Structure 1
Amino acid sequence: MGSLLDFSAPQNDAVTPPPTIIQPKLEPLDSVSDSDSLAPSHPPGIPFPLSQSQPSPPPNPNSNANVYSEFSRISQLFNTAFSDKAPQNDVVSSDKAAQNDVVSSPDALAIVARPQEGLSASVNRIRHPQHSSELVRVTDLNIEDERYFREVVRKTRMLYENLRIYGNLNDEKGLVGRRSRNDLKASSVMRERGLWLNRDKRIVGAIPGIEIGDVFFFRMELCVVGIHEQPQAGIDYLPSSRSSNGEPIATSIIVSGGYEDDVDTGDVIIYTGHGGQDKCFRQCAHQKLESGNLGLERSMHYGIEVRVVRGFKYEGSASGKVYVYDGLHKVVDCWFDVGKSGFGVYKFKIVRLENQPERGSLVLRFAQNLRVRPLEVRPRGYVCLDMSMKKENVPVLLFNDIDRDHEPLAYQYLVKSVIPSYVYQFGSSGCNCVLGCLSNCFCAMKNGGQFAYDERGILIQGKPIIFECGPSCSCPPTCRNRVSQKGVKNTFEVFRSRETGWGVRSLDLIQAGSFLCEYAGVVLTRDQAQVISMAGDNLVYPRRFSERWAEWGDVSRVASNYVRPSHPSIPPLDFAMDVSSMRNVACYMSHSRSPNVMVQFVLYDHSNVLFPRLMLFALENIPPLRELSLDYGVADELSPKLAICN
């Protein structure tokens, strides 16, 4: 793919600096606890063993004992995934592979349309492939191609997050001696199994399936999806040792604002090169025009765009930081200058390309201001600053700058669904955990032997139904098993859209696995639903929602004996929800075949499994002001939404 041409000889008239320390431009590590360790304590290439336990056989649906052993089985699957080792005769020397690699000329990049082989990996392959030196640019993708790549990226990121959460769960249960860097472990497992994306081709420019504004909480996740493949260095480049003519080419940079000579004004960045720094990131020697520095200069020479990711501290992030993909930029100038430290540094002027969506980092900051001063930040468009009339924990905004439609205000706002009174006759048996629930409490047993959420309230694994602690339980309101019943925590905005009619977006950055809200309406039996539907009102049928919950926690790509959860089980649901006069914010969410929100059935205030509540959880990290979407299962082919939501 692409012709193999020599680069032109580099033209460099820059002042030659004195000998220096050659060190990559390192970025600050993701925040971890003092007990965390970045460096693995085992030989390189071995994927972080947590234990040598063997996986249990699949559970027998007819055995109650197996129902309550689900946590042990999942933990063992996770441990086994980390303890698998590649056969010694199946490992390829990196040095030998590098000798056989060549690089295409940057001005003769291969143009590839939907290179599916670049985003799919053999699940059974244990050793990770050597990164290709072939430079390609992906172009001319149609809508189906974009949807395909987006789904591949979504599933890859979901697997990464699920592995990381399982690792945290093992730490919590005391299966390892200390809290560990499960973000590194998850990426290591996926790499050893060939599940990192875009390893067989080095993509220049946009990565298929990655959108401007996508957010990442961990640096290693950038490596997994192929945006930036240096675990810590700020400049990602094709090294000269793997190039046919000995010239490095830079493909992406990370801007974190942690270097004294960097200047970031948004669309224009003055980026400082790497090298000459001590262990405390202080400049102690002059820099040289080599490695990543030369890669940026050569990218400027050949007119090759670079991807820019911004990283900064963010309150509430799982790592203490957030990384945002901000699109494509070009290096337009390079010079050698005296830095603030008094040592010579290379500086690069990097300018954002035009006609791209708004920078994700700018949207994050805009949303932060919007939460505090909505009318000051957006003086026009707000119809109501709280359509829930203070029924929710936080306001639900109503925004329309397109027309005069105020339809959502015509409905009575429901915080939670109205369930027939006879359903509560079943009651709800609870636990006796007065001081707080432990893993052996009654409610944990009903969930299969584990809690449904981790310490941060993140859903661990999707299930047919989840039992939360309820009114009959003795545990305090702070119990970790009371997540969805506590209500909305994010600031949502119902907004008018020319594409989807009414839609919903959040002003907060939402982490994957987080609870959003209940899908609320008036619950009707089958007979009642038939009468209502004859009157012409549209109803929502819970049984029609796609079972996206099964995707959350699915690690079958790294654990071949993973079994989809079937306990606790529920019979087919046979009720409808009327939202024709009373509804909440969830009823305005768009329909999508690739949704970022899923429905999870939950019980907490009664024990009748025929009438669970519809709780919504995030399937991925959702940036502020990005539209929320559900897979309703059945939709009008002429509309991106169900008729009930239009």
Structure 2
Amino acid sequence: MSSTIPFLDLNLYPDPSSSPSTPTLIIPKIEPKLEPIDEPPPLPPTPPSQPTSSSHPELQLSTPSPSTPFPTSSSEPDLCSEFYRISELFRSAFAQGVHRHGNVSILPDSDPNFGAIVPVPNNETQLSAVVISPRGTRKYPQRSSELVRVTDLKADDHRYFRDLIRRTRMLFDSLRIFSTSEDDKHRDLLVPQKRTRGDLKAAALMRDAGLWLNRDKRILGDIPGVAIGDVFFFRMELVVVGLHGHPQAGIDYVPASQSSNREPIATSIIVSGGYEDDEDAGDVIIYTGHGGQDKHNRQAMHQKLECGNLAMERSMHYGLEVRVIRGFKYEGSASGKVYVYDGLYRIIDTWFDVGKSGFGVYKFKLVRIENQVEMGSSMMKLARSLRVRPLEMRPKGYVTLDLSRKKENLPVLFFNDIDGDNGPVYHEYLITTIFPSYVYNYGNGTGCECTGGCLDDCFCAMKNGGEFAYDSNGILVRGKPLIFECGPHCRCPPSCRNRVSQKGIKNRFEVFRSRETHWGVRSLDLIQAGSFICEYAGVVLTREQAQIFTMNGDSLIHPSRFADRWAEWGDLSQIFSDYVRPSYPPIPPLDFAMDVSRMRNVACYMSQSSIPNVMVQPVLYDHNNVSFPHLMLFATENIPPMKELSLDYGVADADEWTGKLAICN
């Protein structure tokens, strides 16, 4: 499929100044270049942590929880200690939760292994003996020290690795959102308590399940499946996919103790402005080495040429490239920051200099390698400018600054700098689907009575199986066959947490002419995974009407052809062995078509992809006829500004009634 080329043995190409004698094994003092810890935005206080089982019977913790993967000795709170604290919470919650269900034994105080968790085999499932000892004695496989490059990737290989990365990140986000939504259910506003970190919970569970990527090899250069411009909200997500192997260190490298010639080699760095002497000009970076900072991130002593600093110098000596990830504050991010992969750089110079604080620092000059796609951070800056000054940034190409003619909450731009095809401006813009009138006569007009806002035990929650589909921030917790939102017969206010998709778009979109996909849609805002995007709107036709329209050459969309991607969002089967795919509320096969030949909205211009970043989620809110749901679109990954949005339109069955696939693809 692809080739991994072992990195050359540096012993064969020694430094001319080095001694020919066999080097002595030296265990360096690991002193990483620390960066500011990811801290989520301030949240309401939470009660003291109490071990509780999940409120979802199909999501009970049935796999061993991780203990600490990192030793911590500092009394100050840092990312490692927080990771350890979360892991201990999960260990405790698992022990008590599954003990209630009779499938584990908790050893008594008299047992020398008190606190260990021992699964007990039953007649249905033979569980292997797994023991988790208390206080961080669990052993995890060490990261490989073998350096390789991945080459000769074919088109199928790129699709495979991209889908692997997509699914891994989707699981990470699903776990993170699910854990925070569970915290919300048990939050007591009267008892102040620091809220636990959903990203650390997700990473801990995925590591325990062996789902962290790229641990068996140290990849030099690009990570297969990770594209330039990919955006990450959390440092732990970088670790999970293997893009940057340290949760807080700014320099990721192979230590001298693991290197083949006892010289450290750098593989990636994070540029986040944590050091006052850093200079970032985009293609050229002056990067400050690690060490010498106090707890306030101020330079307090001279740096030394060791560990990460020495790894950077050795990578320059051997002409090796490093991955560069930029981190910066971003409004609307789940953590308050974003990390963008900006491609490969080479270190061309290094020197020791007096920094702004008067202490000696090592500086490294990095230059971006040519012939790479545009940096993701540059595209984010462009999008930010386009949001306020579109005509100034692009004097030519904009056909209209609002394709919706003020029908949407935010303008939908239309950009075409390829040809004179301005077809989208001649179609009537829809903000929601038009159903036949008889659809609204189905069922009664009963709604919830929650005048102050819906709770988990209200009427609409019961229609959804006893839980709401969204968390407190309006993020989809997991996909379902159908979601009931509060509607016109409900007494809850417009701010109700169960009114998400009916409120219209919240991001600024741009329809554009594309050479590859004919038409395309991109956002000028960063879209968080699980967020609502827009409705796929059109005019609903019955089977008989659709056959007549098809004979006239009109363009139809068949909802039954859309792939069931909703089932992937929130699928925790790789973590919880007893996970069951949601089947409630049920929905019949969608036996209707949508005419989008004359009336449509921005969704109709999204391109087809077998690895989409957008999914279709059926939703009802303005009527109760489950045969005619609204087709609401949600993001399945973090979608950077200016990145094209894509759907899986599916394929037609051989015996399906005549119709066309998406008009724009």
TM-score, with structure 2 as normaliser: 0.83
Q: Equivalents in 2 of 1:528, 1:296: separation in Å?
A: 67
Measure how far apart 1:31 and its partner are: 2.1
Does the CA-based 8 Å contact 2:402-2:412 persist in structure 1?
yes
**Alignment partner of 1:542 out of 559, 566, 577:** 559
Measure how far apart 1:43 and its partner are: 7.5
Measure how far apart 1:428 and its partner are: 3.5
Aligned-partner residue type, residue 146 of structure 2: E
Q: Equivalents in 2 of 1:501, 1:378: separation in Å?
A: 21
Unaligned runs of 5+ residues in structure 2 are 19-28, 47-76, 102-127, 654-659
Q: Equivalents in 2 of 1:55, 1:583: separation in Å?
A: 54
Partner of 1:167: 179
Measure how far apart 1:6 and its partner are: 1.8
Q: Equivalents in 2 of 1:345, 1:571: separation in Å?
A: 66
Partner of 2:639: 622
2:653 is aligned with 1:645: no
Question: Matches of residues 54-453 of structure 1 in structure 2 within 5 Å?
Answer: 54=98, 87=131, 128-174=140-186, 178-426=194-442, 427-453=444-470
Measure how far apart 1:5 and its partner are: 5.1
DSSP-derived class of the 2:90 partner = coil
Q: Equivalents in 2 of 1:559, 1:127: separation in Å?
A: 21
Question: Matches of residues 526-537 of structure 1 in structure 2 within 5 Å?
Answer: 526-537=543-554
Q: Equivalents in 2 of 1:387, 1:487: separation in Å?
A: 15
Measure how far apart 1:46 and its partner are: 5.4
Q: Equivalents in 2 of 1:145, 1:631: separation in Å?
A: 19
Question: Residue deviations 1:14-42, cap 9 Å, x none?
Answer: xxxxxxx9742111111234869742486
Q: Equivalents in 1 of 2:648, 2:147: separation in Å?
A: 37
DSSP-derived class of the 1:222 partner = helix
Does the CA-based 8 Å contact 2:434-2:539 persist in structure 1?
yes
Q: Equivalents in 2 of 1:464, 1:45: separation in Å?
A: 33
**Alignment partner of 1:31 out of 35, 39, 45:** 39
Measure how far apart 1:136 and its partner are: 0.3
CA separation of 1:44/1:514 partners in 2, compared to 1, >3 Å: closer, same or farther? closer
Question: Residue deviations 1:148-176, cap 9 Å, x none?
Answer: 00000000000000110111011101179
**Alignment partner of 1:48 out of 85, 90, 93:** 90
DSSP-derived class of the 1:49 partner = helix
Measure how far apart 1:535 and its partner are: 1.8
Partner of 1:71: none
Measure how far apart 1:584 and its partner are: 0.5
Question: Which deviates further from its counterpart, 166-175 or 1-10?
Answer: 1-10
CA separation of 1:257/1:92 partners in 2, compared to 1, >3 Å: closer, same or farther? closer
Partner of 1:473: 490
2:528 is aligned with 1:484: no
Question: Residue deviations 1:173-225, cap 9 Å, x none?
Answer: 11797520111111111111111100000000000000000000011000000
Q: Equivalents in 2 of 1:161, 1:512: separation in Å?
A: 7
Q: Equivalents in 1 of 2:531, 2:175: separation in Å?
A: 16
Question: Matches of residues 496-507 of structure 1 in structure 2 within 5 Å?
Answer: 496-507=513-524
DSSP-derived class of the 1:393 partner = coil
Partner of 2:21: none
DSSP-derived class of the 1:372 partner = coil
Q: Equivalents in 1 of 2:636, 2:100: separation in Å?
A: 28
Q: Equivalents in 1 of 2:445, 2:402: separation in Å?
A: 33
TM-score, with structure 1 as normaliser: 0.85
Does the CA-based 8 Å contact 1:127-1:193 persist in structure 2?
no
**Alignment partner of 2:613 out of 596, 605, 610:** 596
Measure how far apart 1:536 and its partner are: 2.0
Q: Equivalents in 1 of 2:448, 2:17: separation in Å?
A: 73
Q: Equivalents in 1 of 2:86, 2:399: separation in Å?
A: 58
Does the CA-based 8 Å contact 1:444-1:451 persist in structure 2?
yes
Question: Which deviates further from its counterpart, 419-428 or 484-493?
Answer: 419-428
Measure how far apart 1:49 and its partner are: 3.2
Aligned-partner residue type, residue 33 of structure 2: K
Aligned-partner residue type, residue 141 of structure 2: P
CA separation of 1:85/1:454 partners in 2, compared to 1, >3 Å: closer, same or farther? farther
Question: Which deviates further from its counterpart, 204-213 or 240-249?
Answer: 240-249
Question: Residue deviations 1:566-624, cap 9 Å, x none?
Answer: 00001111111011110001001101111000000000000000100000000100011
Q: Equivalents in 2 of 1:403, 1:128: separation in Å?
A: 57
Q: Equivalents in 2 of 1:409, 1:56: separation in Å?
A: 61
Unaligned runs of 5+ residues in structure 1 are 14-20, 58-83, 94-125
CA separation of 1:127/1:429 partners in 2, compared to 1, >3 Å: closer, same or farther? farther
CA separation of 1:413/1:296 partners in 2, compared to 1, >3 Å: closer, same or farther? same
Q: Equivalents in 2 of 1:618, 1:229: separation in Å?
A: 26
Aligned sequence identity (%):
67
Does the CA-based 8 Å contact 2:221-2:321 persist in structure 1?
yes
Aligned-partner residue type, residue 414 of structure 1: L
Aligned-partner residue type, residue 499 of structure 1: E
Calculate the aligned-residue CA RMSD, in Å.
2.6
Partner of 2:11: 6
Q: Equivalents in 2 of 1:41, 1:358: separation in Å?
A: 35
